[in-house]
Structure 1
Amino acid sequence: MNKQCVIHIISNTHWDREWLHNFQETRMRLVEFLDLLLEVMEDDDEYRSFVLDSQAVPVEDYLAVRPENEARLRRLIESERLLIGPWYTCPEGFEVNGESLVRNLLMGHKVAAAFGHVMKVGHTPFSYGQNSQMPQLYAGFGIDTILFYHGVSHDDTPNEFIFEGADGTCILGSQMSSMARYNFYHGVYRPAVMGKTTADREYEWREGGSPFHRAALEQALEHYLLLAPPRTVDKKRFAQCVRALRDAEANTATTRHLAFMMGHDSSVADPLEKEMAALTREALAGDEVVRGHYEEMMAAIRAEADWNDLQVLSGERRVPKPMPATLHLYSDVLSSRTRMKYRSSQAEYLIQRRVEPFAVAGMGLG
């Protein structure tokens, strides 16, 4: 693609409420993350927006510890700089029933709306595939786009496509990028700042950075933390990498709009993002470079895409996505911790099929 492109640099994260650490430890990290984000966004108007992984519950978890910061968070959400929702939490779409997905979206909308704005983009990259009724579920909440990469690949379709639901509902879909939700981080930031490729996971003590790890048996498998991470950008390598990324994304896109995203697992605002945005404008002088978010990007893609030329995908989406390393679907999650899944299914059934119908009947009878 030789025509001018519009590069959307998007600051985002993927935030598991509980994953490598238990809930309370994860919340400690969430508090540190949002403390930093508030400071960065209030001090730098050029840091236009941050996407909080399409969830609303992190805001509640944070305010349970920092209630004094509610007004500051509310200002950022109302001004559409901090994007939350439409989900309440990140669901694995094949582990719960359809009604639970509806309730999740309903709660997410209520919480996000109470803070001033609901992100109206169907952002579901956290589910290992997509069920066939996601277009119908999203449309019911006034959402006409879906972003995911688990369950679709560029062998199936270019970056943008039409996702047709089981009932015939069609919405605009996007694979986000050739490297999922973190193409800017792995394709540009990591090599230009860390000096490492995506596949290079080894770290030598002589590299500095003060690697830290707690000396406790129960934390033996935890990740190391760099207390003094690199803060210098290799400008020559940055220019090479950002041009290569631009060309790779342009080859898969159906419009001029390309997403450059920073959001890997538990990622936080990075002080170098402002400098990297400026370096991107310098390296891609023939393109337009903006700092934005998913709502703006998807609105621009919708306005420019030729709906008649987009490929239509339908049915359950359960294919792996080849990238530099294949992005698996982890279908084994369906059979892990079966006791928990059984109890969850029981709770869904009892509440949705027994308790609520009788409660409604009781209300009707006075």
Structure 2
Amino acid sequence: MNIRRKLLSCILGCAVLGFGLPTVAQEQKLKFASATLNDVQHQYQMMFKDRVSKELPDVAVELYPASQLGPIPRMVEGVMFGTIESFITATAFLSQVDPRFQTFDVASIFKDPAKTQQLLSSDVFRERAKNYGNTRNIQPISTFVHSPNSIISKKPIKSLQDLAGLKVRVLGTPFQIEPMKALGATPVPMPLSEVMPALQTGAIDAVIAAPTVAAAFRYYDAAPYMAMVDSWPLIVTVATSSNWLNNLPDETRERLQNIAHEVESEAVNWGLGDVQRAADAWTANGGSLTPLTPDAEESLQAVIASSTAGLIENNTVLSAEVEALNGLLK
């Protein structure tokens, strides 16, 4: 055996025995998308990336806010098909993935902000919610309150009757569509990226959206009136590819999920301040705040409940989830 053959034999032997060459951990890329910019969703993304970069150097987080990876429906599909690893979004946009996501649009469950966040951050809820979307390659790794919803309009909404006849942009969930119909408005579901052009062209007259999103996207230039609805919160979820998560080393996956949970409280606290900052920015740029009266909020809750009761009763999966979450609130 000549020297060359001896050297080759040695190299092959080392490879078989698993030693002799250093093992390099493979970097995992996490594309993290959102439709918004400079709101609590975007802030959560930045907080999450900062923690992951410090604690999990083998996971490279890339942020894509403001619909850089496409409109909302395409980003949901991206997570399902594995081309996007994670997407933070209003849970209504996940309702077609799994009817259990519609639970977050049942306003009566979440009308108390403090109880809502207590429920969403509890271990028993997390254990239950991690299975939402499990047949469509989606796993929620974080769910929290974004802000109260608001009604942004071209003319002031002083009472619920003022909504009659208006074309109102809503999320693509029957839990916003049916109440608007009951109030005499025409609900128009559309992705966030299409809202401002629709306001400018008159395709819609009003928008249901988070006040922080409305201020960030300068809706006051086209629709200067805002009415916050404290009893109707917007809840968001970090929808992550199940396949991507399951391919991570066990310790990495567990730590990443823990980081996702740990960042929530910091993001929620930041978001509370952001609601006030949004209100200040709104009025500073010529917008007007016209909050609903307590009686109007109570009437809206009644309309939401009556117009959506059948949606719950006729969906066994959803009704079971609503009953379970109501039980957790007691």
User: More helix by proportion, 1 or 2?
Assistant: 2
Larger Rg: 2
What's the TM-score, normalizing by structure 2? 0.27
What's the TM-score, normalizing by structure 1? 0.25
